[in-house]
Amino acid sequence: MDVLHTKKGGIIISVTEQEDITNFTTISLTDYGAVPDSELDTQQAMARAIQAAAEISGPVVLDCARGRYHFYPEEAIRAPYYISNTTSEEENPDVTKTIAILLKGMNDVTLEGNGSLFIFHGKQTLFLLDKCTNVEIRNLRTDYHQPTVTEMTIIASGKHYFNARVHPDSRYQIRDNKLTWLGEGWNFAEGPMQTYDPLRNTTWRIDNWLELAQSVEELEPMTIRLHFDFQPDVVPGHVLQNRDGIRDQVGAFMTECSDITWRDVSLHFLHGLGVVGQFSTNLTFSRMNLAPRTETERTVAGFADFLHISSCRGKVAVRDSYFSGSHDDPVNVHGTYLRIVDQPAVDCVKVQFMHPQTYGFPAFYPGDEIEFVRSGSLTTYASNNVVAVERLSARELLLTLAHPVPDGIGSHDVIENVTWTPEVEITNNHFARVPTRGILVTTRRKVLITGNTFERMSMNAILIAVDAESWYESGRVEDVTISDNHFIECGGSEHPVIFISPENVVVDESAPVHRQVVILNNHFETCSDVPILSAKSTCGLVFKSNKICSSSETGKLSCVEEAVYTIACSEIDIADNTFTNVPEGID
């Protein structure tokens, strides 16, 4: 391989001759003022380097010399963005995001980290990609200087108290016997809490002990005692994780982008909703590591979801990655139903965002294919195409359609954007330390979930839902394969390991919501009477050649038939599965 170096405008151009010749320009972050392994702010240097890259014709590599770089919020870019599933107007009236690294309208750009560690201060959206094409972010690690999820480890307990050691990265003050968590420009005293059990590497949601305590006192720096009027049921060694619950930023946001790749990137803490893709095409996540940085000894890496894909198209691929320590679902792929609230003309409908935390973004574009959906049955009764979109407010849109609106629209009926539904491939990943579900997916395109390990999800390992009355997350599935996965002690008595649960209230076997779900050659390990599969309103349900191994001595399950439940399903094929009952502790 021959490498030639020339100069153009003072910028080094690397030309590599190989089978497929690609000319690309390399610019160095340090040439624009960044100083690795210092405490200096990298914000302005990064902005200058990105601007230089934007002015170059052809592919560009923005090269970051290996080192540690700090990003502070004072010089960050501020711009308004509406993001699905984040906050309501009441929770966060200002949708302005504090953006550390902004790529806007850029094409053919690679951000090469060379193994560098980016440390972010305050609350920031780490990366924001807006109308970009063919961008790759690779060989990079990121973390928060002070995560917005605090941690403390229970070290002792008594009749009416317990003691806890606060993690060095968490700060607090105690005033009037109440504890307030303090951060870089943020603080909170109330919010969601969950417990982490290091012996089983599992987490679950609990009531906030700080809100239940009568008083809090400091025994010594970074060691506190919580007093109660009852005996707290706690276990020394367990870690309590606490956050405020307001998703005012996200970890990363891709909007109206195409062909975006994240490769060999470690995201060690994400504030808000994690990495969000919205109305984007072809998103690839390869060899990602979303888990706490080992040397910090922290136990949490995500404030909420890790990957949240809303109304995208093309292919979403998540491969060979590790997800551990989120406060919500590691992967969620869905669209958004908007309710029909008026019909001002024969070819027009007014639609409205219904969930408080999802609104403001352009949910439709001219040319999009749409379907009309009954809210009660979640079945489609008409299709159409969008000709024009008028934004009436952050909550309401007026759609002009190519054909007349169908008769008989119900008062709660909704519209799904069919154009923006992706194919999904989730392969060879490991999911652990999750208090909720592992994967949520609702899209009519082909879905392949294979070769993954799900380790002790507190709820479902895989959930296929869809609803038009709560989260308004669309839509139906038509081609799902779940194969060759390993499920280790996932779920609970009310949380089947695989849950196909459309929220239709009108249930009719002849009018299914979902179709063609194939569950094949999976290995399920369970230590209780957890249902393996529960399915509702699905046509073409296949559960074959799966191995179920139970170590429960008292559980109710004794055969496959007792582990699989169906409601209003048709064309069911359950065959060639094996059920082994092995008492716990026996190999």
pLDDT in tens, 55-103: 999 999 999 999 999 999 999 999 999 999 999 999 999 999 999 999 9
Length reported for the chain: 587
Look at residue 482 and tell me if it is in a domain. yes
Query: Could you tell me which residues are beta bridge partners of residue 483?
Result: 450, 520
Residues 127 and 39 in one domain: yes
The tens digit of pLDDT for each residue in 153-203 reads 999 999 999 999 999 999 999 999 999 999 999 999 999 999 999 999 999
Amino acid letter, 579: F
Q: Take residue 398 and report the two structure tokens written for it.
A: 């007026």
**Residue 581 pLDDT class (50, 70, 90 cuts):** confident
Residue-level pLDDT at 429: 98
Residue 559 has pLDDT above 70, yes or no: yes
Query: Could you tell me which residues are beta bridge partners of residue 111?
Result: 62, 137
The tens digit of pLDDT for each residue in 352-410 reads 999 999 999 999 999 999 999 999 999 999 999 999 999 999 999 999 999 999 999 99
Residues 267 and 166 in one domain: no
Question: Could you give the 3-state DSSP secondary structure of residue 38?
Answer: coil
Whole-number mean pLDDT of the chain?
94
Average pLDDT score over residue span 104-117: 98
Domain boundary, last residue among 360, 388, 417:
417
Domain boundary, last residue among 286, 303, 324:
324
Alpha-carbon distance of 302 to 270, in angstroms, equals: 5
* Backbone phi, psi, residue 329, to 5°: -70, 130
Query: Could you tell me which residues are beta bridge partners of residue 339?
Result: 352, 414
Residue 217 has pLDDT above 90, yes or no: yes
**Residue 554 pLDDT class (50, 70, 90 cuts):** low
Share of the chain above pLDDT 90, in %: 91
Q: Take residue 88 and report the two structure tokens written for it.
A: 């309501």
Residues 488 and 561 in one domain: yes
The tens digit of pLDDT for each residue in 405-438 reads 999 999 999 999 999 999 999 999 999 999 999 9
What one-character-per-residue DSSP string does 387-404 give?
Answer: EEEEE-SSSEEEEEESSP
Domain boundary, last residue among 198, 225, 242:
242
* CATH (domain of 264): 2.160.20.10
Contact 38, 29 (CB under 8 A): no
The total number of structural domains that make up the chain: 4
**Residue 558 pLDDT class (50, 70, 90 cuts):** low
Residue 555 has pLDDT above 70, yes or no: no
Share of the chain above pLDDT 70, in %: 94
* Backbone phi, psi, residue 211, to 5°: -80, -25
Residue 11 has pLDDT above 80, yes or no: no
Angle at alpha carbon of residue 83, lines to 82 and 86, rounded to 5°: 115
Cβ neighbours, 10 Å, residue 512:
25
Closest CA to 564 of 580, 540, 546: 546
Look at residue 10 and tell me if it is in a domain. no
Residue-level pLDDT at 560: 80
Alpha-carbon distance of 16 to 221, in angstroms, equals: 57
Closest CA to 449 of 439, 459, 436, 434: 439
Question: Could you give the 3-state DSSP secondary structure of residue 146?
Answer: coil
Residues 455 and 559 in one domain: yes
Look at residue 2 and tell me if it is in a domain. no
Average pLDDT score over residue span 496-508: 97
Residues 205 and 107 in one domain: no
Distances (CA, A) of 554 to 172, 532, 563, 577, 579: 45, 17, 15, 22, 16
Alpha-carbon distance of 566 to 379, in angstroms, equals: 19
Residues 565 and 471 in one domain: yes
Contact 330, 305 (CB under 8 A): yes
What b/e sequence results for 126-136 when a residue is b if at least 16 CB atoms lie within 10 Å of its CB, and e otherwise? bbbbbebbbbb
* CATH (domain of 377): 2.40.10
What one-character-per-residue DSSP string does 476-537 give?
Answer: --S-EEEES-EEES--BTTB-SEEE----SS--TTS-SEEEEEEES-EEEESS---SEEEES
Look at residue 427 and tell me if it is in a domain. no
Residues 278 and 308 in one domain: yes
Domain that holds residue 450: 438-581
Average pLDDT score over residue span 140-146: 98
Average pLDDT score over residue span 290-301: 98
Contact 133, 259 (CB under 8 A): yes
Contact 540, 516 (CB under 8 A): yes
Residue-level pLDDT at 527: 82
Residue 7 has pLDDT above 80, yes or no: no
Residues 278 and 132 in one domain: yes
Query: Could you tell me which residues are beta bridge partners of residue 414?
Result: 339, 373
What b/e sequence results for 318-335 when a residue is b if at least 16 CB atoms lie within 10 Å of its CB, and e otherwise? bbebbbbbbbbbbbbbbb
**Residue 8 pLDDT class (50, 70, 90 cuts):** very low
Alpha-carbon distance of 5 to 15, in angstroms, equals: 7
Residues 122 and 263 in one domain: yes
Average pLDDT score over residue span 473-499: 96
**Is the backbone of residue 179 left (phi > 0), alpha (psi -120 to 50) or beta?**
beta
Residue 54 has pLDDT above 70, yes or no: yes
The tens digit of pLDDT for each residue in 456-481 reads 999 999 999 999 999 999 999 999 99
pTM for the whole thing? 0.94
Residue-level pLDDT at 316: 98
Residue 585 has pLDDT above 70, yes or no: no
Residue-level pLDDT at 23: 86
Average pLDDT score over residue span 432-457: 98
What one-character-per-residue DSSP string does 330-357 give?
Answer: SEEEEEE-EEEEEEEETTEEEEE--STT
80's enclosing H/E stretch is strand 77-80
Residue 552 has pLDDT above 80, yes or no: no
The tens digit of pLDDT for each residue in 225-251 reads 999 999 999 999 999 999 999 999 999
Write down the residue that tokens 């002070």 correspond to: 146
Residue-level pLDDT at 562: 82
**Residue 446 pLDDT class (50, 70, 90 cuts):** very high
**In sequence order, which residues have a C-beta less than 8 Å from that of residue 460 and are 6 or more positions away?**
437, 438, 490, 491, 495, 496, 497, 498, 499
Alpha-carbon distance of 381 to 392, in angstroms, equals: 26
Residues 538 and 453 in one domain: yes
Residues 303 and 158 in one domain: no
Residues 376 and 472 in one domain: no
Average pLDDT score over residue span 275-303: 98
Q: How many angstroms from the chain centroid is the CA of residue 501?
A: 20
**Residue 556 pLDDT class (50, 70, 90 cuts):** low
Contact 206, 195 (CB under 8 A): yes
